[in-house]
């Protein structure tokens, strides 16, 4: 589903309050081993991606855990 049905385009449709929690040192990326080099440089940067997604979801709150990885 991650590869064939991206949901990022539907974030704007969420109407419920949404809590996003990220470790700002997380670089986990599914498929990075098969992604082209130019794509690999852009994925897994949750310190930036978390803020971008929080702007897309109308009632979102972003909590960032400084210096933490994938499972803060």
So what's the pLDDT on residue 2?
67
Give the whole-angstrom CA distance, residue 5 versus residue 1.
5
E strands present in 9-70: 18-23, 60-65
Show the tokens assigned to 25: 């040192």
Say if residue 68's pLDDT is above 90: yes
CB–CB of 28/44 below 8 Å? yes
So what's the pLDDT on residue 34?
86
Give the model confidence (pLDDT) of 6-44 as tens digits: 888 999 999 999 999 999 888 888 888 888 888 888 788
Give the whole-angstrom CA distance, residue 14 versus residue 65.
24
So what's the pLDDT on residue 26?
87
């Amino acid at each position: 589903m991650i590869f064939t049905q991206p949901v990022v385009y539907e974030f704007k449709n969420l109407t419920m309050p949404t809590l996003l929690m990220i470790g700002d040192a997380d670089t986990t990326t599914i498929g990075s081993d098969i992604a082209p080099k130019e794509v690999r440089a852009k994925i897994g940067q949750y310190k930036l991606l978390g803020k971008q997604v929080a702007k897309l979801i109308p009632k979102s709150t972003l909590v960032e855990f400084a210096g933490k990885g994938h499972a803060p």
